[in-house]
Amino acid sequence: MYLITNAMKNLVRNKGRNILIAAITLVIIATTAVTLTINNAAAKVIDGIRLDLGSRVEVKQDFIEMRQAGLDGRTDASYISLEQFENFSRSDYLRKTIFSAEMYACSDTFFAVGDEAKGTATRINDNGEEVLVETLKLVATSDPEMLSDFGTERFITQGRMFEGSGECIIGEELAALNGVSVGDTIQINGASYAPDKSYSLSVTGIFSDVTDEYNGNWFLAMYDRFADSRRNEIITSWDTLLGAGWETNHGLNMTTEYFLKDPDDIAKFEAEVRAQGLPVTYGVSINQAAYDKVAGPMSGMKNAVTTFMTVILVLGGIVLALLSFMAVRERKYEVGVLRAMGMERGKVAFGILMEAVMISALCLILGLGIGSAMAQPIADGILAGRVAEAEAEPERNVAIFAGGQSQIGDGSSGYTPESQVQVSLGAETFIQIIIVAFALAALSGLIGVAVITQYEPLKILSERN
């Protein structure tokens, strides 16, 4: 008890020197508290994104990869049966599957927004046949809850979401142009790649739409591709789409999302579907562009604070070590007197170590408070800058059309960077900060112990002057 009491008195006696050491220690602990809190919070968000997008595997023709490999998207594209897609969904590696597809359509009774020709324009298809130009797009999904625009940029203002087969919803502009109300029936046909497909759809809902008409894609906007305008989408169920008698995905821009139980099983799942006959022209991958866009700012912030924390710990540790070394050398005479009075070397070392622990404990309390108060504003500021950079970066404008399928952009369209993170001092972070604090105490104290053990008491007293 005497050693602890004496250590506390020594802190007051040498307050000038100890205040300097405490200031350095406080800066290191507060900085560590901020960076560790932000780092751990960002890691949790990134893990959540990984479990969402990282487990969401797409199986579809990869025209960009085909082009880079020297293959022709029109002649080398291959099509598999929809039954095979269904078989893939029965894999033990999956927890659920969502089927979605887009089909270019046309109609001589239901007209597209912006189509001045009123559905009469024609063109020659790949078979040399004269067909109507596609002006509409039928969008189908097996899970309406995955229509991400709804609730943010699209809202049903009349009626309800489609439920049964043969039902659909359309936008307000499309409904107003054609004089369609909830309960009316519209007739559309497949365009050039699926002219034999026809649909009679009951409109169950009309929605407002503030999405970007072409998702910022200059290529589509420049050529006024009405069929790719968000205003001309007719949204329906997957069962409704299949009702026209599809056997393969030829004529469909089809995306099948298989949700893995474990994101790390993607290679095993790919091997399984390849063994079941999936052609090499199909890609089996996560949407890496979307993942990078969503998680990129958060990962950038995490890397930045980790780097900053490392620099502070290294430089702060060096400065703290130098201060501790000089402080103990200044106290050689004090140590010599104590040793000459008969105090054991271990007790002297314990007293110096206790001083370092007391300084670190006090700085730990203050540092936790400062770090907790500063972490959220700092995180918001860093993340806002990263998000602004990500949003300013243009999407790769790649447009490829083949067999009724398309690949437009780099796959990140419709996704937005994660822009919020809730920072809090959790138990894990608290333990990590305590470890850092006492590591600093050990560094400071052990340097003192190493210095004093080099001298014998008589030598210290003889070298006083």
Q: Tens-digit pLDDT profile for the chain (465 aa)? A: 555 665 555 555 666 677 888 888 888 888 888 888 888 888 888 887 777 777 888 887 766 666 665 655 455 456 788 888 889 999 999 988 999 989 999 888 898 888 766 666 666 666 666 767 788 999 999 999 888 888 888 999 999 999 989 999 999 999 999 999 999 999 998 887 788 889 999 999 999 999 888 776 666 655 557 788 899 999 999 999 998 888 888 888 888 888 888 888 888 998 999 899 888 778 788 766 677 777 778 888 888 888 888 888 888 888 887 777 776 666 665 666 665 665 666 666 677 777 777 888 888 888 888 888 888 888 888 888 877 776 666 555 444 444 444 444 445 555 677 777 888 877 888 888 888 888 887 777 676 666 666 655 555 555 555
Same domain, 180 and 307: no
Residue 142: inside a domain: yes
How many domains would you assign to the chain? 2
Which position has the token pair 């591709």? 225
Same domain, 156 and 250: yes
Q: Which residue, of 227, 254, 281, is where some domain finishes?
A: 254
pLDDT value, residue 388? 78
105, 188 contact by CB (below 8 A): yes
Residue 82: inside a domain: no
- DSSP string of 269-335, one letter each residue: HHHHHHHTT--TTEEEEE-HHHHHHHHHHHHHHHHHHHHHHHHHHHHHHHHHHHHHHHHHHHTHHHH
Q: Which residue, of 254, 286, 312, is where some domain finishes?
A: 254
Q: Can you tell me the distance from the alpha carbon of 10 to that of 146, in angstroms, rounded to the nearest whole number?
A: 66
Q: Please, which residues bridge with residue 94 across strands?
A: 260
Q: Which residue, of 223, 254, 285, is where some domain finishes?
A: 254
Residue 81: inside a domain: no
Joined together, the tokens standing for residue 103 give: 């089909």
pLDDT value, residue 250? 80
| CA 39 to mean position of chain CA atoms | 14
Q: Please, which residues bridge with residue 98 across strands?
A: 257
Residue 160: inside a domain: yes
pLDDT value, residue 77? 59
Tell me the residue type at 15: K
Residue count of the chain:
465
390, 293 contact by CB (below 8 A): yes
Which position has the token pair 């000089």? 326
pLDDT value, residue 408? 47
Residue 262: inside a domain: no
Same domain, 119 and 221: yes
Per-residue burial over 134-153, b = 16 or more CB atoms within 10 Å of its CB, e = otherwise: bbbbbbbbbeeeebebbeee
pLDDT value, residue 315? 86
Q: Please, which residues bridge with residue 401 across strands?
A: 406
Q: Can you tell me the distance from the alpha carbon of 413 to that of 329, in angstroms, rounded to the nearest whole number?
A: 64
Q: Are strands 399-402 and 405-408 parallel, antiparallel or unpaired?
A: antiparallel
Same domain, 353 and 453: yes
pLDDT value, residue 331? 63
pLDDT value, residue 220? 63
227, 135 contact by CB (below 8 A): yes
Residue 66: inside a domain: no
386, 297 contact by CB (below 8 A): yes
- Domain hosting 449: range is 2-50+295-462
Same domain, 443 and 302: yes
- How far lies 213's CA from each of 16, 115, 139, 208, 453, in Å? 67, 14, 15, 13, 77
Q: Can you tell me the distance from the alpha carbon of 103 to that of 123, in angstroms, rounded to the nearest whole number?
A: 17
Same domain, 150 and 14: no
Residue 29: inside a domain: yes
